[in-house]
Structure 1
Amino acid sequence: MSNPHFTGMMRSLSLLPEVEAILLAGSRAINTNDHLSDYDVYVYVTAEIPLAVRKAIADKYCSYMEVNNQYWETEDDGVLNDGTEIELIYRDLDWLDGELERTLFQHQASTGYTTCFWSNLINSEILYDPKGKAKTLQEKFAIHYPAELKNNIITKNYPLLSQKMPAYRKQIQKALKRGDVISINHRIAEFLASYFDILFAVNEYPHPGEKRLIDIAKSKCQKLPVSFEQNMSNLIKHVGTCNDDILVVIDQTINNLNAVLKEEGFLVTSKIESAF
């Protein structure tokens, strides 16, 4: 790493007895970063690092740091002395192993983002791993996309697009009748989570997370729905309009996805059922 503030901070963290591995993830790990990219660092620990120790390290290398944020995971979020943002996320390797076992070997699907932890691990750059535990984990899960997992992701997420009672399209239709733009926004986000989970599964590509999904899908997915980018653009454009045009866009998006799924041998229906 050419950033002395970053390398110094990683060196200081690596000297702590609680730390057994440090991995760099995100765009900087795969060299797709731009001037807005931060450092996404996963610090794997055997025990909690005292807050005072984490703060002392942050004070040395960072101009600003929020220590021990607990909004999603245990994190320290701040800005290095050169102005680059950094995110330190503290995890346990055994916990990650268990999560990936359930996903990749037991083939348990989620409603959206099913394979994100997998993508995170296999695309991370190991910065510190004295016992080789992180490398062993990467090798363990360097496997071909499981066919059963692919099927389970599609089976779990597809009915939520428009078919079942709690389907996102039906919830959006009800929200339109109420003029509830906040609910529409929330359901569109969930719709897209399931949509992209299906799309990446069809292409047997581990889900990359929340950022740059259109660009990643265009570059990594050989099986894309017709008018994919236009559908995504139209969907976002109509989120705040609160009129039935958004249902037309949703239907087009689902129908175009259906064509891909049918070509891949998945039995889906293109019938869109209205909410009652």
Structure 2
Amino acid sequence: MAYSDCFNDLIREFSELPQVDAILLAGSRGAERADPDSDYDVYVYLNRALPVEQRKAITDRHCQMMELNNQFWETEDDGVLNDGVEIELIYRGLEWLEGELSRVVELHQVGVGYTTCFWANLLDSKILFDRTGKATELQSRFNVPYPPLLKQAIVDKCFPLMKAQIPAYYHQLKKALKREDRISVNHRIAEMLAAYFDMLFAVNEIPHPGEKRMLSLLLAKGNKFPVGLQDDLQQLLEGAATGGEELLAVVERMTIALQTLLEQEGLK
């Protein structure tokens, strides 16, 4: 894939800094599924701190605007290249990434939602620079089949939160609807969908691609879905907008269909 001159020049200048061990292009451009609205998701892996002033000197030459040192999720510089394409520069360490991937892929320690997104991020990335070969080593090390124990761990963690346990999203939604708390309703649905898609990507043995285009990527790459998946999701989102009691029936139906799928796959 060809990249613009300003992008290539920016990457080259960052790669010349001694603090930089590796540079990876992730997101839709790294996975070669970009559309006209896609930005550049660039992960700059450091061996020690890279001062903002050094980063600014480079981005000033190749970007028409830049928000330096955003700290909302990770350390980022977010802006627009001179060719008009948005770019995110995210700063991490390779040792940190190795630890996160080992914890999930090898030790099967899971969360509730987006469990394998760092794994997908690495596998889908294009390595643009790799000073020591460590990024290439990690990509090779973790390019493995989806571990059955990881799949089971995700299901065991997430499925009880659909309806079975006291803290389950179904019960939280029921309370929120009774209180007419529309903000809580939307929050609970978002959290439920995070757990729900975590399980669906696990069942299909697909590392989780992150929060964008989850359904379309699941349908394109997977082949194991609960009955009525798309219709139920549509009704769920419509119900979130209206806040009607029918939401509970949709969640119950989604839970039953998911349980049937998990039983078919020997996961329940």
Deviation of the 1:256 alpha carbon:
1.6
Deviation of the 1:72 alpha carbon:
0.4
Quick check: 1:96 aligned with 2:97?
A: yes
Task: Tell me the alpha carbon deviations over residues 65-124 of structure 1, each in whole angstroms, 9 at most, x when there is no partner.
Answer: 111000000001111111111011100000110111111111111111110010001110
Q: Residue 173 of structure 1 aligns with which residue?
A: 174
Q: Residue 21 of structure 2 aligns with which residue?
A: 20
Deviation of the 1:20 alpha carbon:
0.5
**Alignment of structure 1 residues 74-89 onto 2, 5 Å:** 74-89=75-90
Q: Residue 141 of structure 1 aligns with which residue?
A: 142
Task: Tell me the alpha carbon deviations over residues 135-185 of structure 1, each in whole angstroms, 9 at most, x when there is no partner.
Answer: 001111111111111110000000011111111111011000000010111
Quick check: 1:261 aligned with 2:262?
A: yes
**Alignment of structure 1 residues 22-171 onto 2, 5 Å:** 22-171=23-172
> Structure 2 counterpart of 1:80, which letter?
L
> Structure 2 counterpart of 1:263, which letter?
Q
Question: Secondary structure of the equivalent of 2:225?
Answer: coil
Deviation of the 1:237 alpha carbon:
1.4
> Structure 1 counterpart of 2:88, which letter?
E
Deviation of the 1:257 alpha carbon:
1.2
Q: Distance in 2 between matches of 1:234 and 1:87?
A: 34
Q: Distance in 2 between matches of 1:218 and 1:208?
A: 13
Question: Secondary structure of the equivalent of 2:242?
Answer: coil
Task: Tell me the alpha carbon deviations over residues 221-258 of structure 1, each in whole angstroms, 9 at most, x when there is no partner.
Answer: 11011121111121111112121011111112112212
Q: Distance in 1 between matches of 2:196 and 2:56?
A: 40
From the two aligned structures, give the one with the greater helix fraction: 2
Q: Residue 238 of structure 1 aligns with which residue?
A: 239
Deviation of the 1:215 alpha carbon:
0.4
Q: Distance in 1 between matches of 2:192 and 2:227?
A: 18
Moved over 2 A (4+): none
Mark the runs of 5 or more structure 1 residues left unpaired by the alignment. 268-276
Q: Distance in 2 between matches of 1:74 and 1:172?
A: 34
Question: Secondary structure of the equivalent of 1:108?
Answer: coil
> Structure 1 counterpart of 2:52, which letter?
L
> Structure 1 counterpart of 2:125, which letter?
S
Quick check: 1:229 aligned with 2:230?
A: yes
Moved more, 165-174 or 235-244: 235-244
Mark the runs of 5 or more structure 2 residues left unpaired by the alignment. none
Question: Secondary structure of the equivalent of 1:248?
Answer: helix
Identity between Structure 1 and Structure 2 (%): 52
Question: Secondary structure of the equivalent of 1:238?
Answer: helix
Question: Secondary structure of the equivalent of 2:162?
Answer: helix
Q: Distance in 1 between matches of 2:59 and 2:235?
A: 43
Question: Secondary structure of the equivalent of 1:176?
Answer: helix
Backbone CA RMSD of aligned residues: 0.9
* TM-score (normalizing by structure 2): 0.98
Quick check: 1:209 aligned with 2:228?
A: no
